[in-house]
Chain A
Amino acid sequence: SQQGEEDPQALSIQEGENATMNCSYKTSINNLQWYRQNSGRGLVHLILIRSNEREKHSGRLRVTLDTSKKSSSLLITASRAADTASYFCATDDNQGGKLIFGQGTELSVKP
C-alpha cells in the first residue's frame, strides 16, 4: 500500500521559476525522505528530514514537514533544465529503515 501521495503528478515550468511538490502520508513516521530519478536511472537521495524537524535546506532545495497535517513539501528554487526528473517522497515507517514510496511527481523544466 502506498504511504505517500504526491501532488501534482506532473509539473511543467520555465527555467528560473520555482517548483513546489507536495507529499501527504497516512501513519506516524520516523523520517521522510525525498529522491530524484532521472529517466532510465536509479533513485538518488536528495534530503532526509526527521519527524522532530520542521524545515531543512540543501543548496536550492527546501523541504518542510508538518507532522500534524502529515504532509511535506519540496521546493526547488531557480530551477534549471537539469532538474527535469521524477521526484519521490518516501516515509520511514519506524521499522528498521524500510521505506514506503509515493508515486512521484514528474517535473519538466523548459529552457
Chain B
Amino acid sequence: DAEITQSPRHKITETGRQVTLACHQTWNHNNMFWYRQDLGHGLRLIHYSYGVQDTNKGEVSDGYSVSRSNTEDLPLTLESAASSQTSVYFCASSAGVNQPQHFGDGTRLSIL
C-alpha cells in the first residue's frame, strides 16, 4: 500500500543547530506540503511543492526551507533552530486539485 512516512518521529535539539526533517511518499503525488501544529493555532502551512524543482512559501515560512529533487521526498530544514520552532510537524501529499491530502504521523520537535 502507498504511504507517507516521516522521520524522525521525535527529536530534541539545541537552539542554533540545523535540523532536517524527512518526508517520503510512495503515492507518486506531485503535490507535497509541510505544516506545523501548535495549540491554539491549528495547522499552519510552512512550505509546499507542486512538483520536482518547484517550492513555494506558505503562511509561516520564515526560518524554514525545502527542496524537491525527486517526486518522493520533500525534506524540511530549519537553518538555525529557535525555541519558537518547537512544534509538531506534519508532511502531506496529494494528487492535485480537488483531491484529499494524505498525512504522515508527524515529527515532534523540541528545541531547547
**B31 contacts chain A at the CB level, 8 A cutoff:** yes
Q: How far is the CB of B71 from chain A (nearest CB, A)?
A: 15
Give the residues from 50 to 106 in chain A that come closer than 8 angstroms, CB to CB, to chain B.
50, 88, 90, 92, 96-104
B8 contacts partner chain A, Cβ-Cβ < 8 Å: no
> With A88-B43, A98-B33 in contact, is A42–B105 under 8 Å at CB?
yes
> What CA separation (Å) do A96 and B45 show in the bound complex?
14
A108 at the interface (CB under 8 A from B): no
A100 vs B104: C-alpha distance when bound (angstroms): 17
How many angstroms between the C-alpha atoms of A97 and B48 in the bound complex? Answer: 10
In whole angstroms, what is the CA distance A37 to B86 when docked? 20
**Residue A27 is within 8 A (CB to CB) of chain B in the complex:** no
- A-binding residues in B (CB < 8 A): 31, 33, 35, 40-45, 48, 50, 58-59, 90, 92, 94, 96-106
Q: Which residues of A are found within 8 Å of B102, using beta-carbon distances?
A: 45
Sample (21) of A-B pairs whose CB atoms are under 8 Å apart: A40-B106, A42-B92, A42-B104, A43-B43, A43-B101, A48-B99, A50-B98, A88-B42, A92-B97, A96-B31, A96-B50, A97-B31, A97-B50, A97-B99, A98-B45, A98-B48, A99-B101, A100-B45, A101-B35, A101-B43, A102-B42
Q: Is B43's CB under 8 angstroms from A30's CB?
A: no
Q: How far is the CA of A26 from the CA of B98 in the complex (A)?
A: 19
**Interface: A33 (CB within 8 A):** yes
Docked-complex contact B42 and A104, CB < 8 angstroms? yes
B100 touches A33 (CB 8 A): yes
Which A-B residue pairs are the 6 nearest by beta carbons? Answer: A42-B103, A45-B100, A103-B42, A101-B43, A43-B103, A42-B105
Partner of A41, one of B31, B45, B48, B106: B106
Taking CB atoms, residues of chain A closer than 8 Å to B42 are: 2, 88, 101-104
Extra pairs beyond A43-B43, A97-B31, A101-B43 (4, CB < 8 Å):
A45-B101, A98-B33, A98-B48, A101-B44
Asked if A31 is an interface residue, CB under 8 A from chain B, the answer is yes
- Chain B CB within 10 Å — which of A42, A96, A101, A104 has the most? A42
Give the interface centre of B92, B97, B105 by most chain A CB atoms within 10 Å: B97
